Structure 1
């Protein structure tokens, strides 16, 4: 499947749209590893059209060339996610966070460090397949890149905007990032919606299970997407991802003030 890379001015169009309605929450949307904000555009559009203020930042090391991700640290990416939340929180009383894959892990990091009204994690990356991390650790110094991980989509003709190579050292960086997030899951206080594809060719089932096993039953809502693969925001269930996300954010807003983190 072909892959392309967008330049920054194009991908940031996902943050534009109608003027947000007064009093509506802000929503931070975070894309996945090697991808761009374009992967979040469908769900961002649904939320934006409902009157929410939407911010879909390009994460460090993305949207340029894959070599740049090899020299990007986990700390840079984690800081960028928090900065995105802070940007919205300066303008909106309530802010929710939505993320796909690595962005799902980042959304949980934000929830552990800030006080979002709600979290939506779409196929969150909390575990890698064992061979992925082993390969990165053993060969990162001699093998700059390998085959792409983007584009796991069942819908015919749909192309994810992502790097056409996977930077190997960056996979090891991703491993460190998600290890930190796993250690923070007990600090997440906001309600969480887990949208999980029944079949995912990128992540092991243990990735979603890690979230399920670390959340209180009353805190987590889990929905299985039967028709989509990993990039569910662009797949057959894209419409369902959009309306379920919006419905969950509205329910969280009606339930009262967000609970503060530690």
Structure 2
């Protein structure tokens, strides 16, 4: 469907073959796997099998994104999940922003060994409400670190925002079905997704083992921001702990 729109250089999916524990890495709305690559590479370096898919309509052009529904994004995630399932005995999922929403969606549906969310949305950001035009301008990546760069779109299709809203609504309705361990990262200052979302996730999921880690030096795209090292350190600790005993 998107052959006329080439993939932006650097926005491709990534895969690393490793051990029998797999990690599915999911990028955010209008973002690309590039924002998650440092996290994915760190997991791969620790021995995990890692899959970071490019969600349909992302990493090409806003006009391409406009063609797809939230079910198409779910399909992208499920294709990656099945790729990991063929290679791994247990699967963890880690996602940023809408990728965090998709992580929660996946955890409510499949038997995961644990999840990691970074500034995940379970409520539509206020800036996306009551829009009438075809596209809205994007202000650029919400990153505190001065020299950080994210591959993203300069404008957003309003149709795609409505799809995001539908995904958030469906995910929110099923949060209580999540029973696997959860590590929830939340930036203290986030200009896209309200930090309140982290507490709503914590309160709504049924996991016995769940924790919020506050990121004090990062904005929304925390995986490329000042707390990247902290996210990697805490996440690796969680993955190793969950592998051993299912606890944080």
Q: Distance in 1 between matches of 2:9 and 2:155?
A: 22
Structure 1 residue runs of 5 or longer lacking an equivalent are 258-262
Residues 54-108 of structure 1, C-alpha deviations (whole Å, 9 max, x = no match): 1000001101101111221111111221221121011100110000000001011
> Higher strand fraction: Structure 1 or Structure 2?
2
Shift of 1:134: 1.8
Shift of 1:131: 4.5
Partner in structure 2 of residue 81 of structure 1: 77
1:241 maps to 231
Contact 1:197 1:224 in 2 (8 A): yes
* Equivalent runs, 1:120-159 vs 2, <5 Å: 120-135=116-131, 139=132, 143-148=133-138, 150-159=140-149
Q: Please give the TM-score of this superposition, normalised by the length of structure 2.
A: 0.92
Q: Secondary structure at the match of 1:12?
A: coil
1:38 corresponds to: 34
Match of 1:260 in 2: none
Q: Which residue of 2 aligns with 1:55?
A: 51
Q: TM-score, normalised by structure 1?
A: 0.87
- For the aligned residues, what is the CA RMSD? 2.0
Q: Residue deviations 1:10-65, cap 9 Å, x none? A: 4336424xx514x4x11000000000000001111110000111100000110110
CA distance in 1, matches of 2:18, 2:195: 37
How many residue pairs get aligned? The number is 243
Q: Is contact 2:38–2:223 with CA below 8 Å preserved after alignment?
A: yes
Q: Which residue of 2 aligns with 1:29?
A: 25
Q: CA deviation at 1:210?
A: 2.0
Q: Is the 8 A contact 1:30 1:107 kept in 2?
A: yes
Q: Matched residues in 2 for 1:44 and 1:6: separation?
A: 23
**1:164 alignment partner in structure 2:** 154
- Of the three residues 159, 164, 174, the one matched with 1:174 is 164
Distance 1:47 1:172 in 2: 33
C-alpha displacement of 1:246: 1.1
Alpha-carbon spacing, 1:8–1:161, altered in 2? closer, same or farther (3 Å): closer
1:106-156 per-residue CA deviation (whole Å, 9 max, x = no partner) reads 011111111111100100011123341222xxx0xxx22112154100000
Alpha-carbon distance in 1 for matches of 2:106, 2:143 = 27
Deviation beyond 6 Å, 4+ runs, structure 1:
none
- CA deviation string 1:171-219 (max 9, x = no partner): 1110001100001111111101000000000012332232022034733
Is 1:66–1:165's contact at 8 Å kept on the other side of the alignment? yes
Cα separation, 1, equivalents of 2:213 and 2:120: 13
1:231 corresponds to 2:221: yes
